[in-house]
């Protein structure tokens, strides 16, 4: 008797969103991610557009703001 294993991959993936403009960050986008410099808890994602325009982000954990 032969058994065949079937692997089903999920068709939904979770993309990070920019902490400033809330747009999804696609693979190969020129973005940065870092922990909040004040509390270190929240992971901040910034897309290339928001970095170049120096738009403010807000940490969802401590409400700290930064450019």
pLDDT tens-digit series, residues 22-67: 999 998 899 999 999 999 999 999 999 999 999 999 999 999 998 8
Please report whether residue 1 resides in a domain: no
pLDDT bracket for residue 3 (50, 70, 90): low
Q: Is the pTM of this model over 0.75?
A: no
How many domains does the structure of the chain reveal?
A: 1
User: How far apart are alpha carbons 17 and 43 in whole angstroms?
Assistant: 11
Please report whether residue 10 resides in a domain: no
Please report whether residue 4 resides in a domain: no
Domain hosting residue 60, numbered range = 16-67
End-to-end Cα, the chain, rounded Å: 63
User: How far apart are alpha carbons 24 and 15 in whole angstroms?
Assistant: 6
């Amino acid at each position: 008797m032969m058994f065949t294993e079937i692997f089903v991959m999920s068709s939904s993936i979770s993309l990070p969103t920019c902490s400033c403009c809330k747009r999804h960050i696609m693979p190969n986008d020129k973005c940065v991610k870092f922990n909040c410099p004040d509390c270190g808890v929240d992971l901040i994602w910034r897309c290339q557009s928001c970095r170049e325009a120096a738009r403010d982000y807000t940490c969802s954990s401590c409400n700290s703001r930064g450019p």
